[in-house]
């Protein structure tokens, strides 16, 4: 069973870079069966897919966030990383990592993904 755990600072100042890690256990992030996505949910809003990385290391981004987002992985640690640059208070959200068996680029419900991390709250404020 895949388990995911997000970690990172809960408070980031405007204009800085938000950096999060998703530690995966139970499966290898190089397993061909999985896509690994970052998703966020701002307060009072829906789930927004930010991007994903597949077993081969191919990366897919939400076009609306692509210019500020970097997704990478460390296969030796079996974890994923998310960086979001030049943050503003509008980037305040709960950030999740999640796994799926196919590439999902629009989240219609949590069931679009097989496994989710518990999420981590990130607040952008000075």
**Residue 40: what pLDDT?**
98
Tens-place pLDDT, residues 37-79: 999 999 999 999 999 999 999 999 999 999 999 999 999 999 9
Confidence of residue 23 (pLDDT cuts 50, 70, 90): very high
**Residue 26: what pLDDT?**
96
116 contact partners, CB below 8 Å, separation of at least 6? 4, 96, 97, 98, 110
**Residue 31: what pLDDT?**
95
Question: What's the rounded Cα separation, in Å, for the pair 37 and 102?
Answer: 11
**Residue 113: what pLDDT?**
97
**Neighbour tally for 61: CB within 10 Å:** 18
> What are the DSSP E strand ranges found in the chain?
3-7, 11-12, 18-25, 35-41, 48-54, 59-61, 69-74, 79-84, 93-100, 115-116, 120-124
Tens-place pLDDT, residues 95-105: 999 999 999 99
Start-end of H helices in 43-113? none
């Amino acid at each position: 069973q895949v388990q995911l755990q997000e970690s990172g600072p809960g408070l980031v100042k405007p204009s800085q870079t938000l950096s999060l890690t998703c530690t995966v256990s139970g499966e290898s992030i190089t397993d061909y069966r999985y896509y690994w996505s970052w998703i966020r949910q701002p307060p009072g809003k829906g789930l927004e897919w930010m991007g994903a990385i597949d077993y081969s290391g191919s990366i897919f981004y939400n076009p609306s966030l692509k210019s500020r987002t970097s997704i990478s992985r460390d296969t030796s640690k079996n974890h994923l990383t998310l960086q979001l640059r030049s943050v503003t208070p509008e980037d305040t959200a709960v950030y999740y990592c999640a796994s799926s068996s196919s590439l999902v680029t629009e989240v219609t419900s949590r069931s679009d993904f097989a496994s989710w991390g518990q999420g981590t709250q990130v607040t952008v404020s000075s």
